[in-house]
């Protein structure tokens, strides 16, 4: 176990240099000293222990970090904390590729950016999963099923749209539509533009429905019931189709 810390401004600058040196071909150094030296990082007010674990998915990482950070005040806003965590787990966030090379992404995937009026938590490889898990718990599994170093189609299409990603009823509805409970992964074709009722189509329909419905005030089943018939094949069996729901309510079919 290791005592959780937070990088200071000098430590963050050194982390940026560390990233660039790896891009330039320098050999990766596990557990660099800036993680532990007081010149580069500082202890949290309350002692928190963290383990050097290997995570099977973003969901597993987020679930673990949510437990570790449960007693840390406003952890989502601590740039130094997430930078320290990204460096601590860097071997997983920037793994060696098929060519035997380590190719770090842009800095903001590891060091939260302060540009554009606020740091881009949606792009940070650990902060984003933590926030999504904190918001949606199990219903975040569709967004967080991939390895920690990848974002994936669901994150790119939903994670950067605040109006969608913070809607708990909508995220639960998306989970019900596209999560394969038997295979524990997204249903096949869920993000394929050629498949009727795919994720891209859902986003377009939701944006249209937003003009006539208070989507933020609706439960997942209520959102599913107002979707057009093209989404019926994606619904889990216990749920009524839109036509069945209208018939049950005594309304004429579409």
Cβ atoms within 10 A of the Cβ of 129, count?
Answer: 28
Check: CB of residue 12 under 8 Å from CB of residue 114: no
Specify the number of domains making up the chain.
2
147 falls within a domain: no
144 falls within a domain: no
pLDDT score recorded for residue 243:
52
Please determine, for residue 4, whether its predicted confidence score (pLDDT) is greater than 70. yes
For residues 192 and 75, membership in a common domain is answered with no
Please determine, for residue 84, whether its predicted confidence score (pLDDT) is greater than 90. yes
For residues 14 and 37, membership in a common domain is answered with yes
Tell me the per-residue pLDDT of 143-200, one tens digit each, with 9 for 90 and over. 999 999 998 888 877 766 778 889 999 999 999 999 999 999 999 999 998 899 999 9
Residues in the chain: 254
Please determine, for residue 110, whether its predicted confidence score (pLDDT) is greater than 80. yes
For residues 1 and 57, membership in a common domain is answered with yes
Closest CA to 75 of 166, 6, 3, 155: 6
pLDDT score recorded for residue 163:
81
For residues 156 and 244, membership in a common domain is answered with yes
91 falls within a domain: yes
Structural domain boundaries enclosing 242: 152-254
Q: What percent of the chain has pLDDT over 70?
A: 89
Please determine, for residue 246, whether its predicted confidence score (pLDDT) is greater than 60. no
Please determine, for residue 104, whether its predicted confidence score (pLDDT) is greater than 50. yes
**CA angle at residue 225 from 221 to 226, to 5 degrees?**
125
Across 218-246, average pLDDT: 80
Please determine, for residue 19, whether its predicted confidence score (pLDDT) is greater than 60. yes
For residues 108 and 157, membership in a common domain is answered with no
Q: Which residues lie across from 7 on neighbouring strands?
A: 41
H-only helix segments in the chain: 9-23, 58-68, 79-88, 90-93, 127-136, 153-154, 162-165, 168-178, 199-209, 220-225, 242-248
pLDDT score recorded for residue 245:
44
Closest CA to 244 of 234, 236, 254: 254
115 falls within a domain: yes
175 falls within a domain: yes
50 falls within a domain: yes
For residues 213 and 165, membership in a common domain is answered with yes
User: b/e for 130-152, b at 16 or more Cβ within 10 A?
Assistant: bbbbeebeebbbbbbbbbbbebb
208 falls within a domain: yes
């Amino acid at each position: 176990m290791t005592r959780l810390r937070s990088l200071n401004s000098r430590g963050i600058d050194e982390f940026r240099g560390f990233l660039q040196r790896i891009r330039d071909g320098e050999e990766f150094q596990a557990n660099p000293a800036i993680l532990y030296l007081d010149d580069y990082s500082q202890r949290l007010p309350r002692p928190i222990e963290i383990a050097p674990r290997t995570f099977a998915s973003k969901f597993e990482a987020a679930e673990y970090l949510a437990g570790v950070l449960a007693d840390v005040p406003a952890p989502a806003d601590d740039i130094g904390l997430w930078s320290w965590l990204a460096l601590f787990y860097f071997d997983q966030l920037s793994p060696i590729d098929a060519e035997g090379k380590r190719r770090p992404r842009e800095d903001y995937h590891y060091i939260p950016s302060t540009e554009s009026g606020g740091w881009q938590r949606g792009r940070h490889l650990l902060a984003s999963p933590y926030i999504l898990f904190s918001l949606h718990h199990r219903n975040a599994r569709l967004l967080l099923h991939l390895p920690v170093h990848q974002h994936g189609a669901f994150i790119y299409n939903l994670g950067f749209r605040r109006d969608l990603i913070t809607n708990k009823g909508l995220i639960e509805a998306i989970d019900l539509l596209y999560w394969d409970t038997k295979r524990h992964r997204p249903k096949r074709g869920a993000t394929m533009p050629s498949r009727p009722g795919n994720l891209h189509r859902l986003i377009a329909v939701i944006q249209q429905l937003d003009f006539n419905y208070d989507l933020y005030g609706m439960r997942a089943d209520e959102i599913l019931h107002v979707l057009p018939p093209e989404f019926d094949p994606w619904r889990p069996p216990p749920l009524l189709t839109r036509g069945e729901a209208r018939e049950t309510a005594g309304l004429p079919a579409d």
